[in-house]
C-alpha cells in the first residue's frame, strides 16, 4: 500500500507524494450510479459555480481595491457612504439567482421523496454498531457487521483495500428495480448512507423513515453510518451489491434456503451436548465479534459505561440471569437482546466462554438446550 507507507515519510516527501497521487484522491462529490444521484451532483455543481462566480466578482472588487486604493499610492479617500440604487440592485440580484436555483432543487427533492410503487422493500434497522436487513414478504433477514479485522485497525496487520468499508454480509438489491428502504433503529439514532445512491436517511428508534433508489449498473457500493451513534460509530459500514434481477432472485432463494437450513440444524442441536473445548472456541469467536466492543476483549469492560464480566457476580453465580440478559438484553442500557441476532449454539457458547474465560473458572457448561429452555419459558 503506497498510501500507508507514504505516511511514514517526512513532511516534504509526504506533500510531494500526495500531489503526485492527486489523481487517485477523490476531490469532489460522486456522480453516483442513479438518476437521482446524477441530479444531486448537477445541483451541487450548479450552486458551486454560482458561488465561484459571485466570489470572483466580490473578491475581485476587493482585491482591486486593496491593490489600487491604498494609502501607500498616495490616494485621497473618497467620502461617499451610501447609494440607494446600488443597494437595491445588490439585494435584488441575489434574490433572482436564488429563485433560479430553488427551482431545480425543488424538483429533485420532490422526486427523492416519492417512495411509491416500489418493487422491493427492505427494512433497514441500525443498532450499536451494525445494520440489520429484512426483505419484506420473504423470510430473508440478516445482520451486516464490519469485516475489517481488529488487527488492521490496531495497525498490527497491513490495511486492506476496503479498510473499514467491508462487511460480512452485504445488502443485495436488484438492478433496474425501484428499491424502497424503511429505516429504523433499535437503540440510538443512526444514519444509513450510500453516496453512490445519494441516499442518506436517519434511522430513528421507534419511528420509520423511507427512502428509495433505482440502480442501473451491477456493482458494489460502499457507505457508512453518518450519525454519531456512540463509541464505534466509525465501524459500522454499509455495503450494497447490485445484481441483475436474475442473479438477485437466485441469491434471495439461496439465502432463504440457508436460513431455513440453519433453523433446522438448530433443532437438531438441542439434542446434542457440545464439549467444553468446542463451546470455548465458538464462544471466543462470538464474543470477539459481538461482545468485545463494549465488554472489551479482556472482559474488564470500561469503567462507568460498560460493566466488567471478569469476576462479575452474574458470570460467576447467576446462570439463569446470565442467559436471560444475553437473550433479552437489559432495558434502559446499551445491552442488546441477542436472541434474534445469534444462534442458540452461539449463545450457549458465548455464555460458557464468559463463565470460564479470564479467570472466571466456574467450569460450568451451557448447552443450546439450556438456552432453548429459557427462551421457551419466556414464550409460555
Partner 1 sequence: MSAVVTDHEHDHEHHDHKPSGIKRWLYTTNHKDIGTMYLVFALIMFFIGGAMAMVIRAELFQPGMQFVEPNFFNQMTTVHGLIMVFGAVMPAFTGLANWMIPMMIGAPDMALPRMNNWSFWILPFAFLILLMSLFMPGGGPSFGWTFYAPLSTTYSSDSTALFVFSVHIMGISSIMGAINVIVTIFNLRAPGMTWMKMPLFVWTWLITAFLLIMVMPVLAGVVTMVLTDKYFGTSFFDAAGGGDPVLFQHIFWFFGHPEVYIMILPAFGIVSAIVPTFARKPLFGYASMVYATSSIALLSFLVWAHHMFTTGMPVAGALFFMYCTMLIAVPTGVKVFNWVATMWRGAMTFEVPMMFALAFIVLFTIGGFSGLMLAITPADFQYHDTYFVVAHFHYVLVTGAVFSIIAAAYYWLPKWTGHMYDEKLGQWHFWCSLISVNLLFFPMHFVGLAGMPRRIPDYALQFADFNAFISIGGFLFGASQLIFVWVLVKCARGGEKATAQVWEGAEGLEWQVPSPAPYHTFDTPPVIK
Contacts (CB under 8 A) with partner 1, residues 169-188: 183, 187-188
The minimum distance between CB 20 and partner 1, in angstroms, equals 10
State which of positions 133-172 bind partner 1 (CB under 8 A): 152-155, 159, 161-165
Rule CB under 8 A: is residue 191 a binding residue for partner 1? yes
How many amino acids of this chain bind partner 1 (CB under 8 A)? Answer: 111
Stretch of residues binding partner 1 (CB under 8 A), selected from 56-64, 255-263, 266-274, 344-352: 56-64
Q: Which of 228, 236, 183 is nearest to 207 (CA)?
A: 183
Nearer to partner 1, 220 or 276 (CB): 220
Nearer to partner 1, 100 or 320 (CB): 100
d(CA 318, CA 347): 16
Residue from 256, 334, 339, 372 that binds partner 1 (CB under 8 A)?
A: 334
DSSP, res 123: E
Stretch of residues binding partner 1 (CB under 8 A), selected from 16-24, 173-181, 260-268, 345-353: 16-24
d(CA 247, CA 288): 33
Confirm if 174 and 245 have CB atoms less than 8 A apart: yes
Residue from 209, 310, 325, 375 that binds partner 1 (CB under 8 A)?
A: 209
State which of positions 236-295 bind partner 1 (CB under 8 A): none
Stretch of residues binding partner 1 (CB under 8 A), selected from 6-14, 316-324, 357-365, 371-379: 6-14
In sequence order, what DSSP letters do the residues of 324-352 get, joined into one string?
Answer: HHHHH--TTSS----TTTS-HHHHHHHHH
d(CA 339, CA 323): 10
Residue from 121, 204, 312, 328 that binds partner 1 (CB under 8 A)?
A: 204
Stretch of residues binding partner 1 (CB under 8 A), selected from 76-84, 131-139, 243-251, 354-362: 76-84
Rule CB under 8 A: is residue 59 a binding residue for partner 1? yes
Residue from 27, 103, 246, 271 that binds partner 1 (CB under 8 A)?
A: 27
The minimum distance between CB 64 and partner 1, in angstroms, equals 8
Question: How many other β-carbons are positioned within 10 Å of the β-carbon of residue 97?
Answer: 14
The minimum distance between CB 300 and partner 1, in angstroms, equals 12
Nearer to partner 1, 105 or 369 (CB): 105
Beta strands in 120-194 (DSSP E): 120-127, 130-135, 141-144, 171-174, 179-185, 190-194
d(CA 109, CA 276): 58
Rg for the chain, CA atoms, rounded: 28
224: CB partners within 8 A, 6+ apart:
164, 165, 193, 234, 236, 237, 238
State which of positions 94-113 bind partner 1 (CB under 8 A): 94-95, 98, 101-102, 105-106, 108-110, 112-113
Rule CB under 8 A: is residue 12 a binding residue for partner 1? no
Nearer to partner 1, 142 or 197 (CB): 197
Peptide bond into 313 cis (omega under 30): no
Residue from 13, 87, 253, 318 that binds partner 1 (CB under 8 A)?
A: 87
DSSP, res 235: G
Stretch of residues binding partner 1 (CB under 8 A), selected from 29-37, 269-277, 308-316, 318-326: 29-37
d(CA 175, CA 243): 6
Reduced to 3 states (helix: H, G, I; strand: E, B; else coil), residue 58 is helix
Amino acid at each position: 500500500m503506497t498510501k500507508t507507507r507514504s505516511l511514514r515519510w517526512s513532511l516534504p516527501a509526504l506533500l510531494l507524494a500526495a500531489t503526485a497521487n492527486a489523481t487517485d484522491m477523490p476531490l469532489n462529490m460522486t456522480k453516483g450510479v442513479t438518476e437521482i444521484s446524477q441530479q444531486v451532483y448537477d445541483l451541487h455543481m450548479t450552486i458551486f459555480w454560482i458561488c465561484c462566480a459571485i466570489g470572483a466578482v466580490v473578491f475581485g472588487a476587493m482585491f482591486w481595491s486593496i491593490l489600487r486604493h491604498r494609502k501607500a499610492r498616495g490616494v485621497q479617500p473618497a467620502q461617499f457612504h451610501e447609494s440607494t440604487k446600488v443597494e437595491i440592485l445588490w439585494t435584488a440580484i441575489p434574490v433572482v439567482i436564488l429563485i433560479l436555483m430553488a427551482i431545480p432543487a425543488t424538483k429533485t427533492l420532490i422526486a427523492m421523496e416519492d417512495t411509491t410503487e416500489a418493487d422491493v422493500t427492505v427494512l433497514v434497522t441500525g443498532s450499536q454498531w451494525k445494520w440489520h436487513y429484512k426483505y419484506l414478504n420473504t423470510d430473508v433477514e440478516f445482520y451486516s457487521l464490519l469485516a475489517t479485522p481488529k488487527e488492521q485497525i490496531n495497525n498490527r496487520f497491513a490495511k486492506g483495500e476496503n479498510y473499514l468499508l467491508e462487511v460480512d454480509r452485504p445488502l443485495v438489491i436488484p438492478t433496474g428495480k425501484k428499491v424502497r428502504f424503511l429505516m429504523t433503529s433499535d437503540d440510538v439514532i443512526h444514519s444509513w448512507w450510500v453516496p453512490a445512491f445519494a441516499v442518506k436517511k436517519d434511522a430513528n428508534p421507534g419511528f420509520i423513515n423511507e427512502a428509495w433508489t433505482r440502480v442501473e449498473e451491477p456493482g458494489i457500493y460502499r457507505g457508512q453510518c453518518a450519525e454519531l451513534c456512540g463509541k464505534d460509530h466509525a465501524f459500522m459500514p454499509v455495503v450494497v451489491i447490485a445484481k441483475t434481477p436474475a442473479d438477485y432472485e437466485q441469491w434471495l432463494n439461496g439465502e432463504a434456503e440457508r436460513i431455513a437450513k440453519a433453523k433446522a440444524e438448530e433443532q437438531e442441536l438441542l439434542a446434542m451436548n457440545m464439549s467444553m473445548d468446542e463451546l470455548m472456541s465458538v464462544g471466543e469467536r462470538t464474543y470477539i465479534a459481538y461482545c468485545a466492543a463494549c465488554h472489551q476483549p479482556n472482559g474488564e469492560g470500561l469503567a462507568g459505561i460498560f460493566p466488567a464480566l471478569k469476576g462479575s457476580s452474574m458470570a460467576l453465580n447467576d446462570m439463569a440471569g446470565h442467559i436471560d440478559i444475553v437473550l433479552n438484553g437489559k432495558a434502559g442500557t446499551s445491552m442488546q437482546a441477542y436472541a434474534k441476532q445469534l444462534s442458540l449454539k452461539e449463545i450457549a457458547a458465548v455464555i460458557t466462554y464468559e463463565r470460564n474465560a479470564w479467570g472466571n473458572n466456574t467450569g460450568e457448561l451451557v448447552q443450546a438446550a439450556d438456552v432453548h429452555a429459557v427462551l421457551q419459558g419466556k414464550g409460555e
